[in-house]
Amino acid sequence: MKIYHVPCLQDSYSYLIVDESSREGAVVDPVEPEKVLEAANSHGVNLKLVLTSHRHGDHAGGNEKIKQLVPGIKVYGGSVDNVKGCTDKVQNGDKVSLGADVNILSLHTPCHTKGHISYYVTGKEDEQPAVFTGDTLFIAGCGKFFEGTAEQMYQSLCVTLGSLPKSTRVYCGHEYAEKNLQFALTIEPDNSRIQQKLTWAQNQKQAGLPTIPSTIEEEMETNPFMRVDLPALQEKIGCKSPIEALRELRKVKDKWKG
């Protein structure tokens, strides 16, 4: 499979996933459909599916339009998220296939919204899998807890996504890496992986390049919200359990003025 970034709005990404043998494509969160169609046309891709991470307008806001532009396209979205234009509701564990070699597994990852879905995508056997995490997992961060609790985010982030193969490539909904890594350094000033990644992210930005994808392994080493199981991190922020630490980190980040 091939995955193409489609930059949209201020700091958002749609992603085009292509099954190379059939040239069939799926698009994650096509908020600006024209840009997605242009990308699909330039790569000779026949769009079949929309994968919606969650109901917010900066993710699902292009669904109705893309249905008009691509008659017959199927629009997937979380069954409890009231996604605009949804034709096929999905639940945790539901599978969809694309072309000959691409398989998509829906993972319910609630908290940012109630019905948020992350999509775990595998291609041919020798290809690294990818996960599209919307606003649940960002590079070095996570989404705001608009419709859920720290318990739910712990399950979504540290259990559901944290159990994927370490080499899984992480594609998230927004370009927040620089700010998130700056925040991460306030929590773990001595973490050299965070320091290195911040310098790299700043260089990427200067060059007009994305900081995405990351990997699950890289997130485990640099993302404070995925590191709440570590007693050392809990201690640093005065907490005694992973969930308490996650709640506290989110509270501190919500107030942080980077």
- Least distance to ligand GBP, CB of residue 21, Å: 35
- Residue of 56, 81, 108, 116 marked active site: 56
Per rule CB under 6 A, count of chain residues that contact ligand GBP: 11
Distance separating alpha carbons of residues 36 and 40, to the nearest angstrom: 6
- Residue of 19, 59, 81, 116 marked active site: 59
Distance separating alpha carbons of residues 163 and 159, to the nearest angstrom: 6
Is 59 catalytic? The answer is yes
- Binding letters toward ligand GBP, positions 12-51, x by CB under 6 A: ----------------------------------------
Instruction: Provide φ and ψ at 48, rounded to 5°.
Output: -115, -35
Distance separating alpha carbons of residues 213 and 139, to the nearest angstrom: 8
Among 225, 213, 229, which Cα is nearest to 141's?
225
Map the footprint of Zn ion across residues 47-106, applying CB under 5 A. 56
179 binds ligand GBP (CB under 6 A): yes
**What number of residues does the chain have?**
258
176 binds ligand GBP (CB under 6 A): yes
Q: Residue 253 touches which of Zn ion, ligand GBP, none (CB < 5 to 8 A by kind)? A: ligand GBP
What's the one-letter identity of residue 236? K
Q: Hey, how many other C-beta atoms are within 10 angstroms of the C-beta on 198?
A: 20
Is 56 catalytic? The answer is yes
84 binds ligand GBP (CB under 6 A): no
Query: Annotated active-site positions, please?
Result: 54, 56, 58-59, 112, 135, 174
